[in-house]
Amino acid sequence: MKRILVSGGAGQIGSELVPALRERYGADNVICGDIKIPQGSLAEDGPFVQLDCLDEEKVIETIKKFNVGTIYHLPALLSATAERNPQKAWNINMNGLLIALEAAREFKCSIFVPSSIAAFGPSTPRVKTPQDTIQRPQTIYGITKVAGELLCDYYFIKWGVDARGVRYPGIISYKTPPGGGTTDYAVDIFYGAIKEKRYECFLREDTRLDMMYMPDAVKAAISLMEADPSKLVHRNAFNITAMSFTPHELAQEIKKHIPDFVISYSVDPLRQSIADTWPDSLDDTCAREEWGWSPDYDISQMTKDMLENLKKKLL
Ligand code: AKB
């Protein structure tokens, strides 16, 4: 069997995608690659390679050594970090992707590349944002995501590279924290709620954004890569969503479990200005029709599960 390489495998999504793929296809068949050596199971339960996505030789060597047939390419600087260092963000998000796509072309690999709600901008229709619409983002992260979508399409159209992707909303998870994103408040709030019964939010209480619980994010990546290619009209990248809420609404949901939880607001101008250019909610009809996308978790199921699991981890 051809193996799977998850590059950026020790990050927020990778650290849950790698175990799910190992469970499904066998631990030896899934290589976790990351610039940092992770503690524990990611490096111990199956093959691990220390891999910088900008190191073309090492990427090629890894693909050859492990007979890789599918790449999940996850390395990226997220929106807020990217805005603080746009040149570095362009380098990692674009040149890292180009190296992965070139390797996919040369070694005939399928490749999954995540895009984001950040690929939209202030001139995009905000509510039920359509699959095909105006994409004029004003953040460097969003610009790399649109360029990445187009580059993946280009590799498919010009060379037949089997590139596929989704536009992820904010991802909520308890195993590995996100880093440097605008939607990170929706994870941090659970740490605050459990540890101190309070949380100071860096976005305004009425900032509505799409979100998704990690099990659905992992399911989306695997289902799309397993989908029948003849059914895919769109490839890079599918709108997907699971829920859309504001910080105030999430706080109300948490209060159902922790009645004395208190949220306060201290708005960070950078992250607020980024969030203000993103959609309120995406229309994911194409993903539903073309490869059967359907999320399992809404806001109440996610909140209950997050609190249960994070309590076990923290208390
Ligand atoms: C971020 O906030 O930067 C990410 C994203 C929406 O892509 N979570």
Q: What value of ipTM does the predicted structure carry?
A: 0.99
Q: Tell whether the model's pLDDT for residue 1 goes beyond 90.
A: no
Q: Sorting pLDDT into bands at 50, 70 and 90, what band is 129?
A: very high
Average pLDDT over residues 111-132: 98
CA 177 to chain centre: 12
pLDDT of the residue at 178: 85
Report the alpha-carbon angle 294-70-302, nearest 5. Answer: 30
pLDDT at position 39 is: 86
Whole-angstrom distance, CA of residue 80 vs CA of residue 186: 15
pLDDT at 54: 98
pTM tops 0.95: yes
121 pLDDT above the threshold of 90: yes
Closest by Cα among 295, 284, 201, 283 to 250:
201
Residue 20 burial (10 A CB sphere; 0-12, 13-18, 19+): middle
User: What is the per-residue pLDDT for 236?
Assistant: 92
Q: Does residue 141 have an active-site annotation?
A: yes
Coil, strand or helix at 1: coil
Judged against a pLDDT cut of 90, whether residue 196 lies above it is answered with: yes
Predicted pLDDT of residue 283 = 98
Degrees, nearest 5: CA angle 225-228-232: 85
Report how far ligand 1's centroid is from the alpha carbon of 115 (Å).
9
CA distances from 293 to 156, 224, 230, 286 (A): 22, 8, 16, 9
Kindly state the percentage of the chain with pLDDT values over 70. 100
Pick the residue whose CA is nearest to atom 6 on ligand 1: 170
Whether 195 has a pLDDT exceeding 90, the answer reads yes
Edge-to-edge strand list for the sheet holding 115-116: 115-116, 166-168, 238-239
Q: What is the pLDDT of residue 34?
A: 97
Rounded (10°) angle between helices 96-107 and 140-159: 20
Q: Does residue 214 surpass a pLDDT of 90?
A: yes
SS (H, E, C) 235-273: CCCEECCCEEECHHHHHHHHHCCCCCCEEEECCCHHHHH
Q: Do residues 296 and 215 touch, judged by C-beta distance below 8 A?
A: yes
Q: Which of 141, 155, 213, 297 is catalytic?
A: 141
207 pLDDT higher than 90: yes
What's the pLDDT tens digit per position in 235-285? 999 999 999 999 999 999 999 999 999 999 999 999 999 999 999 999 999
Q: What is the pLDDT of residue 40?
A: 86
CB within 8 Å of 301: residues ≥ 6 apart = 213
Q: What is the mean pLDDT of the chain?
A: 97
* Ligand 1 atom at minimal distance to the Cα of residue 79: 3
DSSP letter at 54 equals T
At 306, give phi and psi (nearest 5°): -60, -50
Residue bearing the CA closest to ligand 1, atom 4:
181
Q: How far is the CA of 169 from the centre of ligand 1 (A)?
A: 7
Q: What is the pLDDT of residue 91?
A: 98
Tell me what pLDDT residue 198 has.
Answer: 98
Query: CB of 304 within 8 A of CB of 257?
Result: yes
Q: Which residues contact 14 (CB under 8 A, 6 or more apart)?
A: 6, 8, 32, 34, 42, 72, 74
